[in-house]
Chain A
Amino acid sequence: MAAQYKGTQVRAPDEGAAEPGPLRPAGGKPPAGARTARTAGTAALSRATPYLLILPALVATALLLGYPLIQNVIISFQTLDAFQLIQHTTQWTGFGNYKAQLTSAEFWHTTERSVFFTLANVALIMVSGALVGLLLYRLGKRMRLLLSIGLVLAWAMPTVAGTTVYQWLFDTRYGVVNWFLDKLGWHSMAGYNWFGGQFSTFAVITLMIVWQSIPFVALNLYAALTTISGEIFEAARMDGAGAWRTFSSVLFPMLRPFFLSTAFLEVIWVFKAFTQVYALNAGGPEGLTETLPVYAFVEGVGNQHYGTGAAISVLTILILLALMSYYFRIILKQEDDL
Chain B
Amino acid sequence: MRRKLIAAIGVAAVLTGVAACGGSDNKSDSGKSSSAGPADFKGKTLNVWLMSGSNPPGWTKDITAAFEKQYPGAKLKITVQQWDGIQQKLTTALSESTPPDVIEVGNTQTPYYAATGGLKDLTSVKADIGGNDWAPSLNGSAVYNGKQFAAPWYFASRVVVYNKKIWTAAGITTPPKTQDELFSDLDKIKAKGTKDAFYLPGQDWYGFDGFLLDAGADLVKKDGDKYTGNLDTPQAASAISLYKKLNGYGTAPKDKDEATPQQSDVFAKGDVGAFLGLGWEAAGAITKNPALKDQVGFFAFPGKTAAKTASVFVGGSNLAITQGSKNPELAQDFLKMAMSDQFEGELAKEGGVVPNKASLDSNLSGNEFGTVSAAAAANGGTTPLIPAWGSVENVPNPITTLFMTGVLQGQSPSAAAKKADAEIDKRLSQQ
Contacts and interface: CB of A to CB of B under 8 A. Distances in A.
B290 to A, nearest CB: 25
A114 to B, nearest CB: 11
Contacts of B6: 54
A252 interface: no
Given A310-B22, A317-B18, A331-B8, A195 B255 contact: yes
Given A305-B430, A324-B11, A65 B16 contact: yes
Contacts of B323: 86
B409 A304 contact: no
A85 B18 contact: no
A262 B8 CA distance: 14
Nearest to A281: B255
A296 interface: yes
B7 A331 contact: yes
A302 B23 contact: no
Interface in A29-75: 29, 54, 61, 65-66, 68-69, 71-72, 75
A298 to B, nearest CB: 7
Contact of B15 (A282, A286, A317): A317
Given A305-B430, A334-B4, A338-B1, A298 B396 contact: yes
Contacts of A90: 26
B320 to A, nearest CB: 13
Interface stretch (B39-47, B109-117, B209-217, B349-357): B109-117
B391 A72 contact: no
B117 A309 contact: no
Contacts of A24: 3-4, 7
A302 B393 CA distance: 10
Contacts of B26: 80, 84-85, 88, 90
Interface in B187-239: none
A173 B409 CA distance: 16
A87 B17 CA distance: 29
B13 A306 contact: no
A97 to B, nearest CB: 12
Contacts of A335: 2, 4-5
Contacts of B16: 65-66, 69, 317
Given A193-B254, A286-B401, A331-B7, A88 B27 contact: yes
Nearest to B4: A335
B336 interface: no
Which 7 pairs from chain A and chain B are nearest by CB?
Answer: A306-B23, A72-B22, A88-B28, A23-B7, A272-B18, A86-B118, A82-B91
A274 B23 CA distance: 16
B95 interface: yes
Contacts of A285: 255, 401, 405, 409
B305 interface: no
Interface in A274-314: 274, 282-287, 293, 296-298, 300-307, 309-310, 313-314
A69, A298, A304, A338 — most chain B CB neighbours (10 Å): A304
Contacts of A304: 87-88, 91, 391, 394
B115 A71 contact: no
Contacts of A213: none
A115 interface: no
Contacts of B23: 71-72, 75, 80, 85, 300, 306-307, 309-310
6 contacts: A86-B117, A88-B95, A272-B18, A274-B21, A285-B255, A328-B8
A332 interface: yes
A270 to B, nearest CB: 11
Q: How large is the interface on A (under 10, 10 to 19, 20 to 34, 35 or more residues)?
A: 35 or more
B393 to A, nearest CB: 10
B7 A87 contact: no
A47 to B, nearest CB: 13
B91 A268 contact: no
Contact of A25 (B3, B115, B118, B396): B3
Given A82-B116, A286-B401, A68 B396 contact: no
Contact of B116 (A83, A274, A286, A287): A83
A316 B406 CA distance: 29
Contact of A286 (B11, B118, B390, B406): B406
Interface string A15-29: 000001001110001
Contacts of B394: 302-304
A331 B15 contact: no
A337 to B, nearest CB: 10
B409 A196 contact: yes
A88 B405 CA distance: 38
A271 interface: yes
Given A71-B25, A304-B87, A293 B95 contact: no
A81 B88 CA distance: 11
B18 A86 contact: no
Contacts of B5: 331-332, 335
B4 A20 contact: yes
B300 to A, nearest CB: 30
A327 interface: yes
A271 B18 contact: yes
A91 to B, nearest CB: 11
A320 interface: yes
Nearest to A336: B4
B20 A68 contact: yes
Contacts of B3: 24-25
A306 B22 contact: yes
A116 to B, nearest CB: 18
A110 interface: no
A10 interface: no
Given A69-B16, A274-B21, A302 B112 contact: no
B114 to A, nearest CB: 11
Interface string B253-264: 111000000000
Contact of A87 (B117, B251, B406, B427): B117
Given A83-B117, A85-B95, A282 B396 contact: yes
Name the residue in B88, B323, B396 with the highest tally of chain A Cβ atoms < 10 Å from its Cβ.
B396
Interface hub of A298, A301, A335 (most chain B Cβ within 10 A): A301
A111 B1 CA distance: 37
